[in-house]
Amino acid sequence: MLGKTLCQRAPLQVRPLQYVARHSRLTLPMAIHAARADQKIKTPYTPSSRYFSGSGARYADLIVQVPPMAESISEGTLATIHKKVGDRIEADEEIASIETDKIDVAVNAAEEGVVAELLVHEGDVVTVGQPIARIETGSSNGTATARVPEEKSTNEAAEDAPALVQQEPGESKIVETKDHAIESSARSESPAPPARSSPANPPQPIDGHAVNSRRESSLRGEHVEKMSRMRKTIATRLKQSQNTCASLTTVQEIDMTALMQWRTKYKEDVAKQYGIRLGYMGAFTKATALAAKQVPEINASIDADREVIIYRDYVDISIAVSSPKGLVTPVVKDCDLLSIVELEKEIAIVAQKAREAKLTMNDLTGGNFSISNPGIFNSLFGTPVINYPQAAVFNMNTIKDRVIAVDGKPEIRPMMYVTVTYDHRLIDGREAVSFLNIVKNYIEDPARMLLE
C-alpha cells in the first residue's frame, strides 16, 4: 500500500504529513489519503526514550529531583515553581521551593540548561527523590526541545491542517472556498433595520436607603485560604503544649535606664568595629543564659516517655522570629559562652534567614528554652505559650515611661514588663521568680555580666 511505502521512507522518525508530501512528490491531500488507508504511521522505537530539536541535534537531559531535607522529613508541598518551560536556568539556580512542616527547602539545578518539562505542579505533595523537572543541559539558544509524542493518529494529524481538505471520490460535500466565506461574512455583517422604539417607562422614585444598603452589601465579602503545612504544624504544636504543660506565668518589671545608657554609649563603636546594630536582644539573651545556669530547672525538660528530667550544662536558646509564613524559633547555641556582641550577630543572622525562608533543620534543632520579644510590636504585657517539650519561655515587652519610687522620690523611668511562662510540672514558683530576679539584676546593672 502507498501508506506503507511512505513509512519505509522514514523508518526512524514520525514525519509530519506536510514533510512526507514535500519529500515524496505527493500533494498533501494525497499523503493524508494514503495515511488514512493505513490508519497510522508506525515507528520502530519507543518515543519516551528519544528527544529531538528542530535541527535534529540531540541534547543531554538532567532530571531534577526533590533533595534530602532532614532525617525526620520525607515529604513536603511544592510551594512555588520559579521557572516555566523554555526558561534558561543557571547552575545552582533555584528552580522550585518546597514547604515542609518546619522549613522551606530550595530545589536547585545541578547544571545550566533550559527547562524542557515540568513533572509536577504547585501544591502537589512531593517526596524525597521524586523527579520534578527535566532540563536540557546541552541547549544554548534558550529554547527547549519537545518530547516526540506517542503514536499520533493521522486523523489527528489531518485535524492539525483543517484548511487542506481532500474530497473523497463519490462524496458530494460542499467545501466553502475562501471567497465564498468572505462573501458570506460580508452578508452576515450587513446592518439590520433599526428596531421600533418603545415608549420609555416613566421614571421611578429612587429609594436612597435601598441604594445605600446595596452599596454596603457589595463591599462585604470573604475569601478562603488553605492552611500551609507550617501553619498546621504551629497549630498542632501549640495545642499539644496547651494540653500537656501545666502552664503558669510570673511577672517582673525592669528599669531600663542603665541598659539604655550603655547601649547609647557603645552602639556606634560596635557598628564601626563589628558592622552590626547593637540592640537589646543580645543583652537579654546573655542575661537569661546566665540566669538559667543558676536556675537549672529553666534549662531542663521532662521526658514523659522515660519519666525522667533532663538537665543540661549548656544553654541553647530558641529565639522567636516572625516570618512571612508564621512564627519560627531558630536556635542560638552556647549562649552562656558568647559575648553580647556575638549574640547580637548570631541573632541577626538567624532572623534574616527566617525572613528569607532559608532556615535549615540545624538552625531549628535543639533549644532548651525560648525568648519572645513582642515588644517590637509595642506589646505592653504577654503570657506566651511554652515551646513544648521545653519547660519555659521568657517574654520581653515594650519600654514605657512610668512614674516609680526611687529612694522614696517619684521619678519617671523607662520601664519594661518581663514574664516567664513555665511548666509547673517541673518548675515551681520559687525557681521562676528567682530566674526573673537574676535577669532583672543583670539588666539594671549590665556590668555585672562581665563578672561571669
C-alpha cell at 254: 525592669
Task: Give the relative orientation of helices 340-355 and 257-274 as an angle to the nearest 10 degrees.
Answer: 80
Burial (CB count within 10 angstroms: exposed 0-12, middle 13-18, buried 19+), residue 196: exposed
Question: How is residue 338 annotated by DSSP?
Answer: S
**C-alpha 96: how far from its chain's center?**
9
Burial (CB count within 10 angstroms: exposed 0-12, middle 13-18, buried 19+), residue 289: buried
Rounded to whole angstroms, the Cα distance separating 393 from 368 reads 9
Question: How is residue 45 annotated by DSSP?
Answer: S
Rounded to whole angstroms, the Cα distance separating 188 from 49 reads 52
Radius of gyration of the chain (CA): 36
Residue 152's alpha-carbon distances to 146, 159, 231, 317, 339, in angstroms, are 15, 11, 46, 62, 70
Q: In what order do the strands lie in the sheet with 88-89?
A: 61-65, 131-136, 113-118, 88-89
Contacts of 181 (CB under 8 A, 6+ apart): none
C-alpha cell at 123: 501544591
**For 51, phi and psi rounded to 5 degrees?**
-130, 150
Q: Which of 137, 141, 112 is nearest to 54 (CA)?
A: 141
Rounded to whole angstroms, the Cα distance separating 425 from 422 reads 9
Question: How is residue 70 annotated by DSSP?
Answer: B
| Active-site amino acid positions | 424, 428
**C-alpha 383: how far from its chain's center?**
29
Rounded to whole angstroms, the Cα distance separating 315 from 334 reads 5
Rounded to whole angstroms, the Cα distance separating 372 from 329 reads 9
**Cis previous bond, 205, omega within 30:** no
Q: How many CA atoms lie within 13 A of 340 on its CB side?
A: 24
